[in-house]
């Protein structure tokens, strides 16, 4: 993998580095991050040549966008690509006791509220631009319109609660902004592939952000979503390449997989992959970061970083030379599907 290579998002003329920067951790996702660490992480990414940055109002209830604003506002605008999201508006609170329960540590004093209406989209983008201190956003994504209502027929297998509003209001609003040149690309970002498949069929999107569903441990998007994206030329950006931490851990009990303790089955499979990686002197983090990028539908991967050291480590892992024999052995042992593409690496 050459992490500083660029690829086009759909047919938009927006080109992103294959290795990007995910903005959830600097919003304090499950661990507090100081302003100093966040800014130094973003600045170091730019120094290394990483120019694709992703964020959302939800991340730290505005904090992630605010930290980006402190870091990017002085950078020539043509020198980076910025994506943010719509679907949550941030309502101010009078006191911290009024804030909704959040996975973000020490978030800014706002409560995020679902709103996929046209007015909600416009308000969200306007407020994001203020926090970002920018005059435009390159990529706008509809964020997590996949909440299910268990009371409806089908429960978790029924229609997402917000799908209708997202497709009938949020998408047309973003499409109008794209036509007017206010934004360059539009997409959807979520943690599951099923609803993305439906979005791909129902509207003209440029990209999807898929978190955790095409990784070394979870290839559930392989057979339906990714071929559809290839056919429709929808670029896929992979979030969560380490599956919320397990593939960047020592694989001990308590390792996090989708933000809960990994099951024995998942730990066993991760350890089997790691054993093969160790035989080839390859860190499992390098394999995790590079695996997804081999699929032709995938444009970029955006691991999150909390500080400068993590940015540097991701960059090193993305550059790590991995022998083809390692991928062949992982495939032979049935640890990845036989039809999952693997990187064309050193022999």
Active site residues: 54, 59, 85
Q: Taking the complete model, does pTM exceed 0.85, yes or no?
A: yes
The total of structural domains in the chain comes to 1
Q: Which residues pair with 256 in a beta bridge?
A: 261
As a whole number of angstroms, the distance between CA 301 and CA 279 comes to 26
Condensed to tens digits (0 to 9), the pLDDT of residues 33-45 reads: 999 999 999 999 9
Question: What's the domain range around 183?
Answer: 6-249+284-320
Of 149 and 257, more confident:
257
Task: For residue 326, tell me if it sits in a domain.
Answer: no
Cα-Cα-Cα-Cα dihedral sign, residues 42, 45, 47, 51: negative
The pLDDT confidence band at residue 152, using thresholds 50, 70 and 90, is very low
Residue 23, in any domain of the structure: yes
User: Does the pLDDT of residue 196 top 90, yes or no?
Assistant: yes
- The verdict on residue 156 lying in a domain is yes
Given this model, what pLDDT does residue 146 score? Answer: 79
Residue 237 counted as domain residue:
yes
The domain spanning residue 139 has which CATH number?
3.20.20.100
What is the C-alpha separation between 336 and 120, in angstroms, rounded?
41
- The yes-or-no verdict on residue 151 having pLDDT over 50 is no
CB 296 within 8 A of CB 236: no
Query: pLDDT category, 155, cuts 50, 70, 90?
Result: very low
Please name every residue paired with 210 in a beta bridge, in sequence order, or none if there are none.
Answer: 190, 238
pLDDT tens sequence across 10-22: 999 999 999 999 9
- The C-alpha atoms of residue 113 and residue 129 are separated, in whole angstroms, by 18
Provide the terminal-to-terminal Cα distance of the chain, rounded to the nearest Å: 14
pLDDT above 50 (res 150)? no
Give the three-class secondary structure for 322. Answer: coil
Beta strands in 43-109 (DSSP E): 52-54, 81-86, 88-92
Domain contains 327: no
């Amino acid at each position: 993998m050459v992490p500083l290579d660029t690829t086009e998002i759909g047919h938009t003329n927006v080109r992103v580095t294959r290795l990007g920067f995910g903005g959830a951790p600097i919003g304090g996702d499950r661990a507090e991050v100081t302003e100093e660490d966040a800014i130094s992480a973003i600045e170091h990414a730019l120094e290394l040549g990483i120019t694709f940055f992703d964020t959302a109002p939800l991340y730290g209830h505005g904090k992630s966008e605010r930290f980006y604003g402190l870091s990017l506002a002085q950078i020539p605008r043509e020198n980076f690509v910025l994506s943010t999201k719509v679907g949550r508006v941030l309502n101010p609170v009078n006191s911290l006791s009024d804030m909704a329960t959040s996975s973000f540590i020490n978030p800014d004093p706002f409560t995020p509220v679902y709103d996929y209406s046209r007015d909600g989209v416009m308000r969200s983008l306007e407020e994001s631009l203020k926090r970002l201190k920018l005059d435009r956003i390159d990529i706008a994504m509809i964020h997590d319109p996949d909440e299910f209502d268990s009371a409806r027929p089908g429960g978790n297998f029924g229609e997402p609660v917000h799908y209708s509003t997202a497709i009938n209001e949020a998408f047309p609003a973003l499409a109008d902004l794209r036509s007017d040149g206010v934004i360059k690309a539009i997409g959807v970002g979520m943690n599951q592939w099923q609803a993305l498949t439906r979005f791909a069929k129902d509207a003209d999107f440029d990209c999807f952000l898929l978190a955790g569903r095409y990784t070394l441990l979870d290839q559930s998007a392989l057979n339906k979503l990714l071929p559809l994206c290839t056919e429709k030329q929808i670029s896929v950006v992979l979030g969560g390449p380490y599956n919320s931490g397990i593939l960047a851990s020592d694989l001990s009990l308590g390792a996090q997989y989708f933000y809960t303790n990994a099951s024995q089955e998942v730990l066993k499979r991760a350890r089997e992959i790691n054993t093969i990686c160790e035989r080839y002197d390859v860190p499992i983090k390098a394999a995790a970061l590079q695996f997804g990028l081999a699929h032709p539908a995938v444009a970029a991967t955006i691991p999150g970083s909390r500080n400068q050291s993590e940015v540097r480590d991701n960059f090193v892992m993305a550059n790590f030379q991995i022998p083809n024999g390692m991928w062949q052995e992982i495939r032979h042992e049935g640890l990845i599907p036989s039809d999952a593409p693997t990187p064309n690496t050193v022999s």
